Amino acid sequence: MTGPVDLAAVLSRIDQPWQPRTVAVLNDYDLRVVRTHGEFSRHSHPETDEVFLVLSGSLTIRMDDGDVTLGPGQLYVVPRGVPHQPWSEHGAEVLLVEPSATVNTGDTPSELTAERRLA
Indicate whether 20 belongs to any domain: yes
Do the domain assignments include residue 85? yes
Number of compact structural domains in the chain: 1
**Residue 71 to residues 76, 91, 93, 101, Cα–Cα distance (Å):** 11, 11, 10, 27
pLDDT at residue 10 in the model: 97
Give a yes or no: residue 1 inside a domain.
no
* 38 is a domain residue: yes
User: Which amino acid is it at 47?
Assistant: E
Residue 114 lies inside a defined structural domain of this protein: no
Per-residue pLDDT in tens (0 to 9) along the chain, 119 residues: 678 999 999 999 999 999 999 999 999 999 999 999 999 999 999 999 999 999 999 999 999 999 999 999 999 999 999 999 999 999 999 999 999 999 998 999 888 899 898 88
Residue 22 lies in domain: 7-99
Q: What is the pTM of this model?
A: 0.93
66 belongs to a structural domain = yes
CATH number, domain with residue 33 = 2.60.120.10
Could you tell me if residue 11 is inside a domain? yes
Q: How high is the pLDDT of residue 119?
A: 87
